Structure formats: C-alpha cells, structure tokens
Amino acid sequence: MQTFSPENWKDYELLDCGDFEKLERFGKLVLRRPEPQALWNKIYPESKWRQLADITFKQRGSHNGEWINPKNNPSKWQIEYKHKQAKILFNLSLTSFKHVGIFPEQAANWDYIIENIKKVKGEQPRFLNLFAYTGGASLAAKAAGADVTHVDSVKQVVSWSRQNMESSGLTDIRWVVEDALKFVKREVKRGKTYHGIILDPPAYGIGANGERWQLEQQINEMLGDVEQILDKKQHFLILNVYSLGLSALLVEGLVKTNFPQSKELENGELYLQAQSGIKLPLGILARYSHGL
C-alpha cells in the first residue's frame, strides 16, 4: 500500500494531533479543532497546545459548535498554495461546522492535477471536479491551463469557490450547482469527455434538489458513468474517499473493475505529517493516468 502527503507547503502545517483533536497552522493563525481519526494520545503536552492555539473550536452538538477566539483574531483570512507552475489563494473562514474552507491533505492531489494537465497534448485540457467543495482541485487545474467544470450541490460553497478563483487571479471556471451523479449521466448523453476527473464524494449527502447520496450504494454506478466521459486517448482519474467503512483494497477494486486502463494504479492512504512526528490518516486515494 502506498501513502500520499502534501510536501513543501509553507502556509499550512499540522503541528500535532491526538485525543480526537488536531492543532494546525493556517498562515499566521493556529487552530485547535476536533479530529475523529486522532485516536491516540497527543505528542505535545496540553500546556504547549494551549500556548500555541490562537483559536479553539468547542463542540456544542453532534454537528456544530463555536470558535473560542480570546485574542479577537480575524475570522476571515487568506493563505497561499504554491506549486512551481501555479499559485492559488484560498479565502478561509471560521464556520459553525469546524471547517475553514479547505482540506489541506488534498494538496497532494493538486500537485498531481497540475503535472498531468501539463502533459495533455494537442488540445486544451478539459477537467471535471465532482463533489468539488471550495475548489482547490478546480483552481489547480485552471492555473495549469485547463478548461474547468466545477460541480457541487451546495450553492454557498460554489460561491466560496468563485471567491477563491477571483482572489487567485483566475477566470472562466464553469460553475454547476447540481447533484453530481445526475450531472455525470447527462454528460454521458451529451457525449462530453474530459482529460482529467477528480471525485471526492462524502459518505452521505443531499443533492441540490434533495437527491440522496450514499457512497457505498452509489459509488460503483457513478464510476461506471465516469469511465464513459473520460477521453479515450489521454486522461487521468483521481478517486478520494473519506469513510471509516472503506479500505484501500476496496477502492482499488472499484477503480480496477470500472477502468480497465488503470494499469499503473496508485492506491493507498492520504495523510498529513505532523511536526510532532505522528502521521494523521485522512482518506483513501486511488489515481492513475493513461496516455500521458
């Protein structure tokens, strides 16, 4: 099994994690927030966590809570992500769901997207981001020169993505507020194809018109449709899942059976390396390229 982690990102750092929490630096601010994957004890002492944390998230219910910000640090700020061939700015915000508008571990996929977009020959690369959230993958592909379609069922996060695009000095991403499975089925009927596709589906979700998504029941169907809209000569695919019920072998099987071109499949765990020395697993990843 392989492992994948972002490298050389100066504006983000996981400092420590444990006891179901993580301590992270986003630019100049250090945040303390819940992390269900951190089952072990903290490496750093509690005194160091208290010293380092600028803002702390306190869980108030099963799905929400509030941020404790004693120094009145800004609740909105920006961080930068740099690749040798691209630069992206993200607008971060303290939300009531503990999220800030970015999943830092996905930077490992942004590098892969940029490098493979640059390899497409003969035409402008077409890239599709499904379950796109605030658009890190969309921005990476656009900065690399792709024609980008961004699909998410939540209008607010699509608006957030647009702000990130504008802050990054980019233009002309196609925004689609829709259920991802419905969108892909329509693209199959239209005969549309893409050189790169990323899927980062949740375990559960509700579409723009109330459609129900359950990963274990629908992911195989979606991948079968996605295979039909990949360019036959040159393409790459990324499947990222964050679900405690799935294994790397299961994801490998899903990709290998739906994508016979996936001879050089990379498959394993996505993680963040903490300054304290511990590794925090944050998803299962499968990706491959064909003809590039």
pLDDT tens, residue by residue, 111-121? 999 999 999 99
- Residue numbers of the domain that contains 50: 2-76
Type of residue found at 292: L
Residue 95 lies in a domain: no
Q: Over 70: is that where the pLDDT of 244 sits?
A: no
The answer as to whether 285 is a domain residue is yes
**What's the one-letter identity of residue 11?**
D
Give pLDDT, residue 1.
80
Say if CB 104 and CB 14 are below 8 A apart. Answer: yes
Q: What is the pLDDT of residues 248-262, one digit of tens each?
A: 999 999 999 999 999
Structural domain count of the chain: 2
User: Does 152 lie in the same domain as 9?
Assistant: no
Reply yes or no on whether the pLDDT at 220 is more than 80: yes
Q: Are 176 and 151 in contact (CB under 8 A)?
A: yes
Q: Considering 76, 111, 142, which residue would you say is the last residue of a domain?
A: 76
**Are 134 and 160 contacting, i.e. CB atoms less than 8 angstroms apart?**
yes
89 assigned to some structural domain: no
What's the pLDDT at 203?
78
Q: Is residue 87 part of a domain?
A: no
Q: Residue 258: inside a domain, yes or no?
A: yes
Tens of pLDDT, residues 14-69: 999 999 999 999 999 999 999 999 999 999 999 999 999 999 999 887 778 999 99
CATH at 8: 2.60.40.1180
